[in-house]
Amino acid sequence: MKYRAALISSSFKSDLYKYMAAAINRRSHLCLIINGMPDHVHIFVRMHPAESLSSLVQIIKGSSSKWINHYYPSPQPFRWQEGYGAFSYSKSQIPGVVQYIKNQEQHHRHQSFLAAYQNMLNKYDIIPDASNPLRRPC
């Protein structure tokens, strides 16, 4: 999905999500739901405090790209784009977040990923840095 290319094929996305969920759960986290579109993935996780978010994302991206390239090789190797977005939610919001992730296809019929992401940044007053509009400054 390097450069936001739509590389997650419907032929393997279900198996990919199962693989990613297993990788998350093996590390003592709880994967609540994974879903996405051909150009991005949403992962909702109850994190165990023993591991940092950045470490978990690195493991998920690294192992899943190796899995895709091994089982679904293509002329150009699969690579995730650099970076990620992460948001926290309260317990009362869990059902709504699960529903949002479950309905990705319907949601993105009306709004692109980048537009939805920008709206979320605006909603929560997150100012992206100039060099990478999808990253929040420290």
Please spell the DSSP secondary structure of 26-43, one letter per residue. HTT-EEEEEEEETTEEEE
pLDDT 10s digits, 48-105: 999 999 999 999 999 999 999 999 998 888 999 888 888 889 999 999 999 999 998 7
Domains of the chain: 2-89 (3.30.70.1290)
Cβ 134 vs Cβ 85: under 8 Å: yes
Instruction: Indicate the pTM of the whole model.
Output: 0.79
Do 60 and 74 contact (CB within 8 A), yes or no? no
In 1-138, at which residue ranges do the beta strands (DSSP E only) sit? 30-37, 40-46
State pLDDT tens for residues 7-31.
Answer: 888 899 999 999 999 999 999 999 9
